[in-house]
Amino acid sequence: MENHKNSPHKRQGKDKTHATQLKTIFQYLQNHSATASMITEATGIPQKNICRYKRDLEKAGRLWELEKRLCKTTGFRAWYLTTNPNNAPFNNQLSLSL
């Protein structure tokens, strides 16, 4: 009997979903600034997944938090996000030149 738990096909599908969701979020935030709840509403991607992708994109330097204000979906204060470098907040940290 074949073991389906460690089937490469199952893992491959999971990776494909991950890549598709990440791409969808990235592209959405290129044209919109939105909170995680607003992204969920617009794309259908679960908020739990959005939080994970947010962290990955931040570490890669591809996502920025713009400002914390009331979310249009929940009414609570939350960070508005973007992946558009033209909308990225100015980094006022000093750079050291050697």
Terminal-to-terminal C-alpha distance of the chain: 64
Task: Determine the pLDDT at residue 88.
Answer: 85
Distance CA 29, CA 62 (A): 10
Is-contact 27 60, C-beta < 8 A? Answer: no
Q: Say yes or no to pLDDT of 11 above 70.
A: no
Quick: pLDDT tens for 40-72.
Answer: 999 999 999 999 999 999 999 999 999 999 999
pTM for this prediction: 0.74
**Structural domains of the chain in order of their starting residue, each with its CATH number:** 18-85 (1.10.10.10)
